[in-house]
């Protein structure tokens, strides 16, 4: 059955937490708590499910964060507001442990969509920040409660023992508001 506990942090509400299980083509909708595991998946479908996760971004409102499951790990998706994007870009030149401009952490022309694997790069805890009321750390991004790592609005590590930014997975826009996580973006035609 659903392994929502793998993503939990004690008893916090998981109202923004969306768990996608099983079917790679299943589409995530905001407000769902958990997807029931589809027991009747064929092995082939199961394998495919493990490699890609398709997400409908359309219901995700500006400022909202949701989580989906991909290859057994949570993926954090945020529909960033212009203010959040501006804050991330403003910090591009600040000294940080794993320097990376915000523009390299989203797809071209899609700065409003931040997609990252939600696993702390220190020892693998799941950072807080996805649920309403969560601590977001000193930089308004995510906070790992295990040993106190602070990630910024771009998911970059800014303070604490984590050595690397939250990883950005391969993902591809199949429409303007739908992505497949686990597939590389198509290169523009030459
Ligand atoms: S696992 Fe996140 S700070 Fe240690």
DSSP string, 60-84: --TT-EEEEEETTEEEEEEE--HHH
Residues 49 and 23: beta-carbon distance below 8 Å: yes
119 falls within a domain: yes
70 falls within a domain: yes
- CATH of residue 25's domain is 2.102.10.10
pLDDT in tens, 93-129: 999 999 999 999 999 999 999 999 999 999 999 999 9
Overall number of domains in the chain: 1
pLDDT of residue 47: 56
Determine if the pTM surpasses 0.75.
yes
> Quick check: CB of 87 below 6 Å from ligand 1?
no
> Quick check: CB of 25 below 6 Å from ligand 1?
no
Residue among 148, 139, 144 nearest 126 (CA): 144
188 falls within a domain: no
44 falls within a domain: yes
Long-range contacts of 101-110 (CB under 8 A, 24+ apart): 102/154, 105/154, 105/155, 105/156, 105/165, 105/168, 106/168, 107/171, 107/173, 107/185, 110/173
104 falls within a domain: yes
189 falls within a domain: no
35 falls within a domain: yes
Q: Is the pLDDT score of 89 beyond 70?
A: yes
For residue 185, the CA-to-ligand 1 centroid distance in Å is 30
Q: Is the pLDDT score of 50 beyond 90?
A: no
62 falls within a domain: yes
7 is catalytic: no
Look at 22 and 148; give whichever has higher pLDDT. Answer: 148
132: containing domain: 4-181
């Amino acid at each position: 059955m659903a392994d929502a506990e793998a993503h939990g942090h004690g008893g916090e509400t998981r109202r923004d937490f969306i768990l996608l299980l099983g079917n790679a083509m299943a589409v995530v909708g905001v407000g769902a708590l958990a997807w029931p595991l589809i027991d009747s998946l064929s092995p082939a479908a199961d394998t495919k499910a493990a490699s890609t996760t398709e997400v409908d971004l359309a219901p995700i409102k500006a400022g909202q964060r949701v989580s989906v499951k991909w290859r057994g790990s949570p993926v954090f998706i945020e529909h960033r507001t212009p203010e959040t994007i501006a804050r991330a870009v403003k910090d591009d030149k600040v000294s940080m442990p794993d320097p990376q401009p915000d523009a390299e952490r989203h797809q071209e022309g899609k700065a409003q969509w931040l997609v990252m694997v939600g696993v702390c790069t220190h020892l693998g805890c799941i950072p807080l920040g996805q649920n309403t009321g969560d601590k977001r750390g000193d930089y308004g991004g995510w906070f790992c409660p295990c040993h106190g790592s602070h990630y910024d609005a771009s998911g970059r590590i800014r303070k604490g023992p984590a050595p690397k930014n939250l990883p950005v997975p391969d993902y591809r826009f199949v429409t303007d508001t739908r992505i497949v996580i686990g597939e590389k973006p198509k290169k523009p035609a030459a």
